[in-house]
Chains A and B, each alone.
Chain A
């Protein structure tokens, strides 16, 4: 694969993911390669490759006839996801508080920038500051999987107070508070999702 193919695939992936995140594509929706290629003004190959990549992180799922759909999550899956993120993100926040004041200030600034965008960006940005390579990846993957649900509800990620509390604790180097702030925030997110969804 040459560089321009890689770039096209990346562009297709970002565009499809963005549509899922902003709700234009919803859980269970069919993803038709030809229509997506027309919409994005590119050939089918990068679109198909982008879908395959999104399937690796389970944001989309491929079905038997080699077509794709936006992954569906049960309410229980969502709860499990949020609880997993609570464990991993509070670990990262706590870890960051042990760094030097300069490093903490830099992380806090990056998080503040990310926090003004859609909810999941803040959480992926937090994950990106983990020292552990695999932890960074895992937090990103789990947040992408949760993103369509998060995008549909008016939750604590939209208000910014919780995110600010996490940033303050990180900047202050207060590990215990950082851990609790992340955990409380994700508990609130879980409750907001449960309040919104009726089954």
Chain B
């Protein structure tokens, strides 16, 4: 692991812990410069850490496009994934009977891109492809109510726990799940597709929950979080919090 990556990783873990412990208030702006100053590191690893927090839904853009702390607890993540584990396997079961040849072809294209993104370690692309792959399966259920429901839920939660980044092995596993799911849908195996998707979502949930539970034991953390909290207590923060 390069030095830059490991600094980005440390920053990421400290911020994530501070967010899930609710030491950083929801709505608090996470400006690159402010975080860099508070943590005493350069902007490049900060940018990498913040982008990962955004992908995973621990941070989100407000109306003016500023990255801010999202309210996310372990319970929310668990509830959200448990509901998805009910809805999406059901969608997959229906999709196995109803998916069109065009949708299967589109699924294959996204999975080829998924594999390529995995190989070059492009996390942002993996997150986007993950969403598109899950969307194709959802739409192929031909249940408009189900599609609307999942989309409304997603929108309301502003991407909370949208994507489990995990480590390289976990990512490889998730990508492999996607291609096995496509094969099951092509074979019309609804029960198999539903079972695989359920395990897939449970896996993603566990990866996210483990990352939330995994405390950064570095004693510096509290000091950093304290530094971070009053940090943009500038006007921007007061506005964001009122």
Question: A residues within 8 Å of B by Cβ?
Answer: 56, 58, 76-77, 80-81, 83-84, 87-88, 91, 132-135, 138, 141-142, 145
Contacts and interface: CB of A to CB of B under 8 A. Distances in A.
B222 interface: no
Interface string B146-160: 101100110000000
A173 B83 CA distance: 23
A81 B145 contact: yes
Interface of B: 75-76, 79-80, 82-83, 86-87, 90, 143-146, 148-149, 152-153
22 contacts: A56-B152, A58-B148, A58-B152, A76-B144, A77-B145, A80-B143, A80-B146, A84-B143, A84-B146, A87-B86, A87-B87, A88-B86, A132-B79, A132-B82, A133-B75, A133-B79, A134-B83, A134-B153, A135-B82, A135-B83, A138-B153, A142-B145
B146 A135 contact: no
The A interface is mostly helix, strand or loop, or mixed, namely: helix
A58 B149 CA distance: 10
Given A80-B144, A135-B79, A91 B149 contact: no
A132 B146 contact: no
A152 to B, nearest CB: 18
Given A58-B152, A81-B145, A88-B86, 17 more contacts: A58-B148, A77-B144, A80-B143, A80-B144, A80-B146, A84-B90, A84-B149, A87-B87, A87-B90, A132-B79, A133-B79, A134-B79, A135-B82, A135-B83, A135-B86, A138-B153, A145-B145
The B interface is mostly helix, strand or loop, or mixed, namely: helix
Contacts of B153: 134, 138
B83 A138 contact: yes
A91 B86 contact: yes
